[in-house]
Structure 1
Amino acid sequence: MTVNLEVTNLVKKFGKFEALKGINLELNAGEVLGYIGPNGAGKSTTIRSILGILKPTSGSIKVFGKDAFDNAAEIHKRISYIPGTVYLWPNLTGGETIDMLLALSNQKHTAKTDQLIQDFHLDITKKNRDYSKGNLQKVALVATFSTDADLYIFDEPTSGLDPLNEDIFQQKLLDLKHENKSILLSSHILSEVERAADRIAVINDGQIIQSGTLEELQNVASSEVEVSTKVVADKLATFAGVTNLAEIKANSYSFKIKIAALEPVMTYLTGLGIINLSIQRPSLDELFLKYYNVKEVK
């Protein structure tokens, strides 16, 4: 598998302030890496370092196997990037802006560009100064998706978009993935990351506090179980990992448990005769809150 981005022990200081404290990330071809965290956590500083705008204090960033800072100009030829806040030339139309952005990347307006304009329902005849925030975002997205690159970096890409256009964005991400492109998706919209990402890295206070697939992250947190059995389950409380046990009604129970500890509990419940069973794994929103309510995930 081709590794297109490798961040190793990245530290970035601004004077005495340490913005990034040993960041490690890896992004392969054909993969979406979700990078989540609150404002000020270090997401944008990481991205600016990857783009070669900021020089690391220590550690390394390799993009396509080359140093991100020393080879920024060469690397940028293979990157398509959209920032969190889009500022465009006010007197240009949306269409003129898209063509200019493509030309700056030595790209051309193609049939794919026209299809993207249609898919995002963008009126390219309006001037940028007359666009809403969402339409400015669409201009940038059309230019970004029109660019043939190997690494796509999206920083809060759906800001201002309505749900319909958010769905279109998700589909375009999937198209890039099928084309074996690498995608770094930085966002605080957790449902967006949850739908698209193959792996997720959670950053807080300049540190990665958890990373892995969504399933792996879910496995370190407790799932919620509701079960009804034919006879009383009076030994549930004795099983390791069972917490928040409550009897909803006769022979019906709710409790929390980590997936790794679930098998013996299920064997016990099956022996009692299961009538109804619901296992709800934590959503990314719930995991996010868990990770930010404690410094270390137990």
Structure 2
Amino acid sequence: MEEVVKINGLQKKFGNFKALNNVSFTVNKGETLGFIGPNGAGKSTTLRILLGAIKRDAGEAEIFSNDVWKESLKIHKRISYVPGDIALWGNLTGGEIIDLFMNLHGNGDTEKRDDLIKRFELDPKKKAKGYSKGNRQKVGLIAALSVDSDLYIFDEPTSGLDPLMEVVFQEEVEKIKNNGKSILLSSHILSEVERLADRVAIIRQGEIVESGTLDELRHLTRSTIIIETEEDVTKLLKVKGVFDFKHENNQATFSAENKQLNYILNEAVKLGVKKIESTPPTLEDLFIRHYEI
């Protein structure tokens, strides 16, 4: 697959603090990569290097096969970027700022802009100094989504938005993804990443601790099993791979290691299964697993 973003062995220090330590990942053409981790993990530092805002100490960082530091102006003609906290010109209206951003990019769609203004319920005639945090975020999102880019970089893009507007953003991201565009999404809203991302990279203390598709990563966590049996369900309590066992009458709920599922089910069949439900682990489960260590 064509690599739109390529990072390999990326390193960055601020004084004695090592912000990034051999960070590596790629974003392929037409896919969405979810880039997640808590505050201070290194997400924003990585994105600032990709945008050419700060220089890396070591490693490779390329977008469209161009070095992000040496060819930043060339790269910026083909990308859209939305930070998590947008600073606007207070005396300009939201509509004026959106048009300014679109004109700077040079590839805007005014019809799409007008549709997004309606969908995000933004008053474009109001001056930016009167906007709330959420409305400032809407200005950045509308401007970014109104231009035709090959790569969209979102850093906590729905910060300050209410849940309904988060849904609007997610729907718009799915549209640009369906048009074959690439998306790098850094978000603390794990359900948002789970809905939108094809692959996930989890960063912890400046290092990538896991990466892959959700299906590839789910083997690392436990599924939730709800089961009802004809015979005594508590016989499953001591079966290998069963954790957090709770029961009432002959119905039980427990966590199961995915690698032991076949064995657990074989033991359950011996008790006469009347009902069984299995819920795969979520991205949140995987995320918590790493940050509880």
**TM class, shorter-length:** over 0.9
CA contact (8 A) 2:220 2:286 kept: no
Identical counterparts, % of pairs: 47
Hey, what does 2:283 align to over in structure 1?
284
Hey, what does 1:259 align to over in structure 2?
258
Q: Distance in 2 between matches of 1:251 and 1:262?
A: 20
CA contact (8 A) 2:156 2:186 kept: yes
Q: Distance in 2 between matches of 1:108 and 1:237?
A: 61
Helix, strand or coil for the counterpart of 2:23? Answer: strand
Correspondence 1:84-123 to 2 at 5 A: 84-123=84-123
CA contact (8 A) 1:23 1:206 kept: yes
Hey, what does 1:269 align to over in structure 2?
268
Aligned-pair CA distance for 1:282: 2.7
Of stretches 34-43 and 189-198 in structure 1, the one that deviates more from structure 2 is 189-198
Q: Where in structure 1 are there 5+ consecutive unaligned residues?
A: none
Hey, what does 1:21 align to over in structure 2?
21
Aligned-pair CA distance for 1:57: 0.9
Correspondence 1:67-146 to 2 at 5 A: 67-146=67-146
CA contact (8 A) 2:245 2:255 kept: yes
Hey, what does 2:197 align to over in structure 1?
197
Aligned-pair CA distance for 1:158: 0.6
Aligned-pair CA distance for 1:159: 1.0
Helix, strand or coil for the counterpart of 2:284? Answer: helix
Q: Distance in 2 between matches of 1:270 and 1:156?
A: 46
Length-normalised TM-score, structure 1: 0.93
Helix, strand or coil for the counterpart of 1:118? Answer: helix
Q: Distance in 1 between matches of 2:233 and 2:191?
A: 36
RMSD: 1.6
Aligned-pair CA distance for 1:107: 2.8
Q: Distance in 1 between matches of 2:138 and 2:252?
A: 49
Structure 1: which amino acid aligns with 2:43? K
Aligned-pair CA distance for 1:233: 5.0
Length-normalised TM-score, structure 2: 0.94
Helix, strand or coil for the counterpart of 1:185? Answer: strand
Describe the shift of the 1:134–1:234 C-alpha distance in structure 2 as closer, same or farther (beyond 3 A).
Answer: closer
Aligned-pair CA distance for 1:166: 0.7
Q: Distance in 2 between matches of 1:284 and 1:161?
A: 22
Q: Distance in 2 between matches of 1:50 and 1:226?
A: 45
Q: Distance in 1 between matches of 2:107 and 2:30?
A: 22
Correspondence 1:102-251 to 2 at 5 A: 102-233=102-233, 236=236, 239-246=239-246, 248-251=247-250
Q: Distance in 2 between matches of 1:249 and 1:165?
A: 41
Aligned residues: 293
Describe the shift of the 1:108–1:210 C-alpha distance in structure 2 as closer, same or farther (beyond 3 A).
Answer: closer
Aligned-pair CA distance for 1:272: 3.0
Q: Distance in 2 between matches of 1:129 and 1:238?
A: 62
Q: Distance in 1 between matches of 2:181 and 2:267?
A: 46
CA contact (8 A) 2:134 2:159 kept: yes
